[in-house]
Amino acid sequence: MSEHEHPHGHIHQSHEAIIKRLKRADGHLRSIITMIEDGRDCVDIAQQLHAVEKAVCQAKRTLIHDHIDHCLEGTVDALASGEHAPLEAFKQITKYL
């Protein structure tokens, strides 16, 4: 089974680290919800939201860059054989950068 074949779909080596980062961000976000419910200072809440936003953006960037690293070769090969669907998929993910 190659890196791109997985019983549950498309998996890259970096996905485990991305999942850990997102789980930390999820816990952080839950603590921010509690801060809001507890009436904490808005500046503190905004600061914590900014930190979660940065963590999620970094996870997204890592995911996209890893996809580009691992899938660009297949896209180039597909184009050489006249297929354009992989190029369209490649273009779709880059709009999220």
Please report, for residues 25, 44, 64, 67, 87, the alpha-carbon distance to residue 91 in angstroms, rounded to integers and kept in the order given: 28, 38, 11, 12, 6
What pLDDT, on the 0 to 100 scale, is given for residue 4? 46
pLDDT for 14: 87
Alpha-carbon gap, residue 63 to 55, rounded angstroms? 12
pLDDT of residue 3: 45
pLDDT tens digits for 42-71?
999 999 999 999 999 999 999 998 888 877
Q: Return the residue matching tokens 């996209």.
A: 64
In the chain, how many domains are there? 1
Q: How far is CA 60 from CA 34, 70, 90, in A?
A: 25, 15, 15
Going by the DSSP 8-state scheme, the letter that residue 9 receives in this structure is S
Looking up residue 68, the CATH number of its domain turns out to be 1.20.58.1000
Parent domain of 83: 15-94
> What stretches of 1-97 show up as alpha helix (H) in DSSP?
15-37, 42-80, 85-94
**Residue bearing the bigger pLDDT, 63 or 84:** 63
Residue 2 domain flag: no
In a domain, 63, yes or no: yes
What pTM did the predictor assign? 0.74
User: Is residue 51 in a domain?
Assistant: yes
